[in-house]
């Protein structure tokens, strides 16, 4: 049974700023993810607030939204068997200090807020997040 899924990945401002876009894309491709769509954009803070609305009660919400809108990001639709979980595994733990060897956050993450990548955490959220950035 094939279980091909799509998930949303974001290369966050800290990684784009360090010119890691191509390196990170190559990691995804080498692990069997297809990059179905991608674009480099900069979003307004209000859009970041919508995107991260699930975190609106958290103490870090304001800084998180300021950060995500602080510079260019690369948003991508990734496709693979079990892409949602597979991407979360490849990203590693939210805090790069806790991320395992071989994960993107271990390799590139600077801190819990500047952790280089975002990935959808469920199939339902993947659909919502893909729709958020890729409307057609």
Question: Any idea what the Cα angle at residue 57 is, between residues 134 and 41, rounded to 5°?
Answer: 25
117 beta partners: 11
Smallest separation (angstroms) from Mg ion to the CB of 131: 17
Binder of residue 40, out of Mg ion, ligand IDP, none (CB less than 5 to 8 A by kind)? none
Q: Tokens 């699930």 sit at which residue?
A: 54
112 binds ligand IDP (CB under 6 A): yes
| CB-nearer residue toward ligand IDP: 1 or 49 | 49
Per CB under 5 A, which of residues 97..136 are in contact with Mg ion? 121
Burial of 77 (C-beta count, 10 Å sphere; 0-12/13-18/19+): buried
Q: Is 118 a catalytic residue?
A: yes
- Which sign, positive or negative, has the C-alpha torsion 17, 20, 12, 128? positive
Q: Which of 91, 109, 118, 119 is catalytic?
A: 118
Cβ atoms of 33 and 78 closer than 8 Å: yes
# residues near ligand IDP by CB under 6 A: 9
Q: How far apart are CA 7 and CA 122, in angstroms?
A: 8
- Candidate segments 30-38, 74-82, 109-117, 127-135, binder of ligand IDP by CB under 6 A: 109-117
Residue numbers of the site for ligand IDP (CB under 6 A)? 55, 60, 64, 94, 112-113, 115, 118, 121
Residues of the shown chain interacting with Mg ion in the complex, contacts defined by CB under 5 A: 121
Catalytic residues, by residue number, are 118
């Amino acid at each position: 049974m094939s279980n091909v899924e799509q998930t949303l990945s974001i290369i966050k401002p800290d990684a784009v700023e360090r010119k890691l876009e191509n390196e990170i894309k190559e990691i995804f491709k080498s692990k069997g993810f297809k990059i179905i769509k991608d674009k480099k954009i900069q979003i307004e803070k209000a859009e970041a607030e919508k995107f991260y609305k699930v975190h609106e009660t958290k103490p870090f919400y304001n800084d998180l939204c300021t950060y995500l809108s602080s510079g260019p990001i690369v948003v991508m639709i990734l496709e693979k068997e079990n892409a949602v979980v597979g991407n979360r595994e490849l990203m590693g733990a939210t805090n790069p200090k806790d991320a395992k060897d071989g994960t993107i956050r271990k390799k590139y993450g600077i801190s819990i807020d500047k952790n280089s990548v975002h990935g959808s955490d469920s199939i339902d959220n993947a659909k919502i997040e893909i729709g958020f950035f890729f409307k057609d």
